Chain A
Amino acid sequence: DQQVKQNSPSLSVQEGRISILNCDYTNSMFDYFLWYKKYPAEGPTFLISISSIKDKNEDGRFTVFLNKSAKHLSLHIVPSQPGDSAVYFCAANVDRGSTLGRLYFGRGTQLTVWP
C-alpha cells in the first residue's frame, strides 16, 4: 500500500512559468518530507525538505508547502527552466533519530519544461 502518493505521472510546463508538483500521504506519523530530483542514468539528488512543524520552506526558485490537515504537500518551481526537466520524487520519513534514512517514496512525476 503506497503511503506516499504522487498521482500525476507527468507534468509539462513552459519555460518561465510555475511548475507545481503535488504529493499526498496517508501516514499521520510522517514528520519530515523531502523532494528529490532524478535525471536519467543518475541517482536521485536531494532538492528541498520540510519539517512537520513548518508549513513552508523556500530555497531559491524552489518552495515546498505542507498542509498537515490535508496530508498534502506541493513543490513550486518558479520560474521553471529547461534544466528542471527530470523526475521528481516526494519522500517522507516516519522514524527520526536512529533511522533517518528510512524514506517512503512516491512513484515520481516526470516534469518537462519546454522553451
Chain B
Amino acid sequence: IAGITQAPTSQILAAGRRMTLRCTQDMRHNAMYWYRQDLGLGLRLIHYSNTAGTTGKGEVPDGYSVSRANTDDFPLTLASAVPSQTSVYFCASSQSGTEMSPLHFGNGTRLTVT
C-alpha cells in the first residue's frame, strides 16, 4: 500500500542524546514536511523540503535538522534532545505544483525525552 512510513513508532530518549526520526514515502511526491503535534497546540511545521536537495525552516525549527538526499527519504534529527521536544512527530508529503495537493501524513512517532 502506497503511503508514508515513519520509524520508530515510539521512543523514550534521555535528554542530551541524539536521535533521528525516519520517514520514507513511496508516492514519488516531491515535497515533504515534518510537523509536531502537542496537546492543545495543534500541528506546527518544523522543516520542509520542496524537492530533493532543498530544505527550509518552518514555524519551530530550533533544535532540529533535516536532509533530503533523495525523493523518498526525509529524516529529522534531534542533535541533543531536550524535554520540550517531547511530542508526536508527523511526516507528510505532497505533490506540489500549480494545483493545491493535500498533505498525506504518516502515522507519527511518539517521542518522550526524559
Q: Which residues of A contact B (CB under 8 A)?
A: 2, 4, 6, 32, 34, 41-46, 49, 51, 89, 91, 93, 96-108
Contacts and interface: CB of A to CB of B under 8 A. Distances in A.
B19 interface: no
A101 B40 contact: no
B105 A105 contact: no
A101 B42 contact: no
B107 A101 contact: no
Given A43-B107, A43-B108, A105 B48 contact: no
B41 A101 contact: no
B31 interface: yes
B99 to A, nearest CB: 9
A44 B96 contact: no
Interface of B: 4, 31, 33, 35, 40-45, 48, 50, 56, 58-59, 90, 92-94, 96-98, 100-108
The interface centre, meaning the residue of B43, B92, B96, B101 with most chain A CB atoms within 10 A of its CB, is B43
Contact of A103 (B45, B56, B96): B45
A89 B96 CA distance: 21
B107 A41 contact: yes
B48 A103 contact: no
Contact of A100 (B45, B96, B106): B96
Given A43-B4, A44-B43, A89-B43, A103 B103 contact: yes
